[in-house]
Structure 1
Amino acid sequence: MEIVNSNCAALSNYEVMVHLQKLKDGKTKNKGQLATITYETLQYLENTPCNFQTPENIEECLKALDAYGLSKTEKLMMINTPPTTALEIQLMIEESEERLSEEQVEEILQLLTQHFPHLLKEQNEAEERSFDS
């Protein structure tokens, strides 16, 4: 992925992480505040779902989400923070009750799990914590 025109579109967390990694690994070392911001942002992003994503699974997921009539912003939110429950989808999609049926919401959840397998692990860990409580 290459940033051609930085003012043209919103970037996903994955794209930001890759760009910052290239900056960090570059021959010229950043100094001062830029180095700190780069380091701290990378530390944060490496602990988010984007660390497990690839350009291929992001692209495939976006193509699959086209069938649901979602806006670019809604798709971007789903890529950056993939929802694991219907409630999270309601929070991400404007007027989701009118735009999506319950079946479509379940299809979207399955689609996201299919393209981002790390979500299954997170769901299982969350269920184990709720049982332990």
Structure 2
Amino acid sequence: MEIVNPNVATLSNFEVMKHLQKLKDGRKRDKPHGQLATITYETLRYLENTPCNGQTSDSITTCLKALEPFNLNKPEKLMLINSPPTTALEIQLMIEESEERLTEEQVQQLLKIIVEHFPHVQKASDENDDDDDDE
């Protein structure tokens, strides 16, 4: 297999999941193709347990618009979409030189934007915290 243009676009986990779901639905009518069917199934199974399962095209689009004032590069935005952070530490890990580029207030604004557009992420984080308290 030859890569013709390696930088055409980067896809979010949500986009990959939707594409694979269409591929899987199309394959139901055709004969399954062994390894492709297995890879599609395993990848979908993984992605359905990630934050992208609760995302929509609209939530991603509006979130990206809300992130514009922060001057983030494309890979940073993609990381924020694929693995929405719930703490300031996670933002530090995702955004290069975040200490110099972002103030504490901006970090809190970023977290607020993420929770606003992806509320399912905060709920999942809260449930994990509750599980930890029970032990």
TM-score, with normalisation over the residues of structure 1? 0.91
Structure 2 unaligned regions, length at least 5: none
What is the CA-CA distance between 1:126 and the residue it aligns to? 2.4
In 1: Cα distance, 2:36 partner to 2:10 partner: 21
Look up the SS of the partner of 1:9 in the other structure.
Answer: coil
Say whether residues 1:68 and 2:77 are aligned partners: no
Superposed CA offset, 1:78-98 (max 9, x none): 000000010100000000000
Partner of 2:61: 59
Partner of 1:23: 23
Partner of 1:8: 8
Superposed CA offset, 1:40-94 (max 9, x none): 0000000101000000000000000011010010000000000001010000000
Partner of 1:36: 38
Structure 1 unaligned regions, length at least 5: none
Contact 1:24 1:30 in 2 (8 A): no
Structure 1 residues 54 and 24: alpha-carbon distance in aligned structure 2, compared to 1, 3 A threshold: same
Q: CA RMSD in A?
A: 1.5
- Runs of 4 or more off by more than 2 Å in structure 1? 27-30, 129-133
Q: Which residue of the other structure, out of 77, 80, 83, is the alignment partner of 2:82?
A: 80
Sequence identity (%): 65
Structure 1 residues 67 and 25: alpha-carbon distance in aligned structure 2, compared to 1, 3 A threshold: same
What is the CA-CA distance between 1:8 and the residue it aligns to? 1.3
TM-score, with normalisation over the residues of structure 2? 0.90
Q: Which residue of the other structure, out of 111, 119, 122, is the alignment partner of 1:109?
A: 111
In 2: Cα distance, 1:35 partner to 1:58 partner: 28
In 1: Cα distance, 2:7 partner to 2:101 partner: 30
Structure 1 residues 110 and 31: alpha-carbon distance in aligned structure 2, compared to 1, 3 A threshold: same
In 2: Cα distance, 1:44 partner to 1:7 partner: 25
What is the CA-CA distance between 1:6 and the residue it aligns to? 8.4
Contact 1:20 1:42 in 2 (8 A): yes
Specify the code of the residue in structure 2 equivalent to 1:10: T
Partner of 2:131: 129
